[in-house]
Structure 1
Amino acid sequence: MFSIYILTYNEELDIAACIESALLSDDVVVIDSFSTDRTIEIANELAERYPIRVVQHQFESHGKQRTWMLEAVSPKHNWVYILEADERMTPSLFQECSQAIQSTEYVGYYAAERVMFMGTWIRRSTQYPRYQLRLLRHGNVWFTDYGHTEREVCQGNTSFLRETYPHYTCSKGLSRWLEKHNRYSTDEAIETLRQLESGRVNWRELLFGTTEVERRRALKDLSLRLPLRPIVRFFYMYFILGGCFDGRAGFAWCTLQAFYEYLILLKIWEIKQVSNPTLLSPSIQPQLRDAN
């Protein structure tokens, strides 16, 4: 058996279904970032009937939130699966995870997401299979920040699961997606500036990487240096990856991702143009100081 941690912030539309999918485990922990909607109320109601713990911690960043969670909230079991509120655990994935944790060879496992958008699985334009580290041995995996997201630091070998998990990326509506990615674009702009100043493209991993994770991250570093990034991303996703075969949902997804890239470029321009950092919002100022 393994514990399941669920990360939440204003997830009232998803939290019940997410928790119910996780109840295959006898230790479910909700880590909430002080939601302002009914997320906590719903989680507490379910905690009265099921083996659920509900903990709140002020959000700083995705990497810091995960590391705090692993350090401050002790799991019942030696292995932990990290579940986002708009993702679901499935019986087949749970069974494979239960078998995987019997091995002493690995400290973490990557699982591929199935992005569900506009009522369908958009397989091609989402770079499927796109892996995220989800199952980990407690005490052997930590997280650092990278842009608006996180990257894992593993003290040992990792492997890949065959089963996938559904990710309902726009389940709370397009307005929520736009609001969330408007925030994300600021972090991505700052990370892009950092990478352009101090990073480099790992051509070996890009061309000869042994895993999808290595190749995708090297491709990400290369994409930061390309001109006309929004147009390039749309062309790459829609035509090269085959998003054109994902129907209307594929076209909408590729368009949104191209818009997101353009928003990042606008944020980069804004940061460069603002000579006085105090003109930026308080949440951006510490990140901008770190970037400098």
Structure 2
Amino acid sequence: MISIFILTHNEERDIAACIESALISDDVIVVDSFSSDRTVEIAENYPVRTVQHTFESHGKQRTWMLRNVPTKHQWVYLLEADERMTPELFNECVAAAQAGEHVGYYAAERVMFMNRWIRHSTQYPRYQLRLLDKDYVWFDDYGHTEREVCDGSTGFLTATYPHYTCGKGLNRWIEKHNRYSTNEAAETIKQLSDHGVDWRTLFFGRSEVERRRALKDLSLRLPFRPVVRFFYMYIFLGGILDGHAGFTWCMLQAFYEYLITLKVWELQNGYTSDVDLTTPSPQQEPKELARTT
């Protein structure tokens, strides 16, 4: 068996369905960063444990959780409030944990947007580290999101999970990614100065995760990045096959990229940022764009 962590901040709209999908496990823990809505109240109606911890950053929140919250099982699965556990994925996780071949496993998401699976323009399958032995994995900060650090080898699961992105409406999406873009701009400047493009990894990386990270290093150096990103997603990746939802998704990604490029220009030209980059956002929110950049 495995334990399941659910990370939340103001998730009253999604938390019930998320918990209900997770109750296939006998140990579910909601880690809340002091929501101001009914998230905790709703969670307490279910047979789960609820822990609250002040949010510092995405990486620190996850590492604190793994190191300080006791679990019934050594192996844990990390679930976001707008994601769902499935019986197929859970059974595969249990089997992987029992085998103990690796210290962590990546699972692929199925992005659900405007009541449709956005299969093509999201570069499916895109993997996130979800199942892990909590003694051998921790997280560092990376831009507005986090990046895993594994003391051992990792593997990949075949079962996938649905991710219901933009479930809180476009106004919330735009506000959130306006904030994210400031941190991404600072991270972009850092990456451009720290290292170049790893061409070998880009073409011959051992996994999708390695190749995707190398591709991001390349994309940061492309001129007209927002336009390039739209056509890459909509035409090259086949977003056009995802219908109206796919077109909207690709436009939103291009808009987000444009915000980042504008804020890079601001920072490089000495403008004051609208967000204090030394102070992490006080919110723990889903990271739909972090998975597509």
Quickly name the TM-score band, shorter chain normalised: over 0.9
| 2:138–2:149 CA contact under 8 A, matched in 1 | yes
CA displacement at 1:273 relative to structure 2: 3.1
For 2:275 and 2:163, locate their aligned partners in 1 and report how far apart those are by CA, in whole Å: 32
More helix per residue:
1
For 2:103 and 2:147, locate their aligned partners in 1 and report how far apart those are by CA, in whole Å: 15
* Structure 1 segments unaligned to the other structure (5+ residues): 288-292
CA displacement at 1:45 relative to structure 2: 2.3
Alignment of 1:7-46 (within 5 A): 7-46=7-46
Describe the shift of the 1:217–1:282 C-alpha distance in structure 2 as closer, same or farther (beyond 3 A): closer
> What are the Cα deviations for residues 213-243 of structure 1, in whole angstroms up to 9, with x where unaligned?
1111100111111111000100100000000
Letter of the 2:20 counterpart = E
Letter of the 1:90 counterpart = T
For 2:79 and 2:276, locate their aligned partners in 1 and report how far apart those are by CA, in whole Å: 26
Letter of the 1:8 counterpart = T
Which TM-score applies when normalising by structure 1? 0.93
- In the alignment, structure 1 residue 274 sits paired with structure 2 residue 274: no
- In the alignment, structure 1 residue 206 sits paired with structure 2 residue 202: yes
Describe the shift of the 1:140–1:269 C-alpha distance in structure 2 as closer, same or farther (beyond 3 A): same
- In the alignment, structure 1 residue 139 sits paired with structure 2 residue 135: yes
For 1:34 and 1:200, locate their aligned partners in 2 and report how far apart those are by CA, in whole Å: 39
Question: Which residue of 245, 253, 256 maps to 1:260?
Answer: 256
1:168 is matched with 164
- In the alignment, structure 1 residue 155 sits paired with structure 2 residue 148: no
Question: Which residue of 87, 105, 110 maps to 1:109?
Answer: 105
SS in 1 for 2:84: coil
- In the alignment, structure 1 residue 64 sits paired with structure 2 residue 57: no
2:277 is matched with 284
> What are the Cα deviations for residues 193-222 of structure 1, in whole angstroms up to 9, with x where unaligned?
100111221111101012111111100111
1:123 is matched with 119
User: What is the percentage of aligned positions where both structures have the same residue?
Assistant: 70
CA displacement at 1:280 relative to structure 2: 4.2
Name the stretch that deviates more: 172-181 or 7-16.
172-181
SS in 2 for 1:227: coil
2:284 is matched with none
Alignment size in residue pairs:
280
For 2:273 and 2:114, locate their aligned partners in 1 and report how far apart those are by CA, in whole Å: 35
SS in 2 for 1:160: strand
> What are the Cα deviations for residues 16-71 of structure 1, in whole angstroms up to 9, with x where unaligned?
0001100011111111111111111111222xxx1x11111111211111111111
SS in 2 for 1:250: helix
For 1:239 and 1:53, locate their aligned partners in 2 and report how far apart those are by CA, in whole Å: 45
2:6 is matched with 6
2:173 is matched with 177
CA displacement at 1:269 relative to structure 2: 1.9
Alignment of 1:229-248 (within 5 A): 229-248=225-244
Question: Which residue of 60, 72, 76 maps to 2:72?
Answer: 76
CA displacement at 1:272 relative to structure 2: 2.6
SS in 2 for 1:253: helix
For 2:222 and 2:94, locate their aligned partners in 1 and report how far apart those are by CA, in whole Å: 42
1:290 is matched with none
Name the stretch that deviates more: 126-135 or 68-77.
68-77
- In the alignment, structure 1 residue 227 sits paired with structure 2 residue 223: yes
For 2:39 and 2:141, locate their aligned partners in 1 and report how far apart those are by CA, in whole Å: 25
Which TM-score applies when normalising by structure 2? 0.93
SS in 2 for 1:101: helix
Describe the shift of the 1:283–1:44 C-alpha distance in structure 2 as closer, same or farther (beyond 3 A): farther
* Structure 2 segments unaligned to the other structure (5+ residues): 281-293
Describe the shift of the 1:215–1:12 C-alpha distance in structure 2 as closer, same or farther (beyond 3 A): same
- In the alignment, structure 1 residue 218 sits paired with structure 2 residue 211: no
Task: Point out 4+ residue stretches in structure 1 off by more than 3 angstroms.
Answer: 279-283
With CA pairs under 8 Å and 6+ residues apart, which has the higher RCO, 1 or 2?
Answer: 2
> What are the Cα deviations for residues 223-273 of structure 1, in whole angstroms up to 9, with x where unaligned?
111111000100100000000111000000000000000011111122233
CA displacement at 1:286 relative to structure 2: 4.9
For 1:285 and 1:82, locate their aligned partners in 2 and report how far apart those are by CA, in whole Å: 27
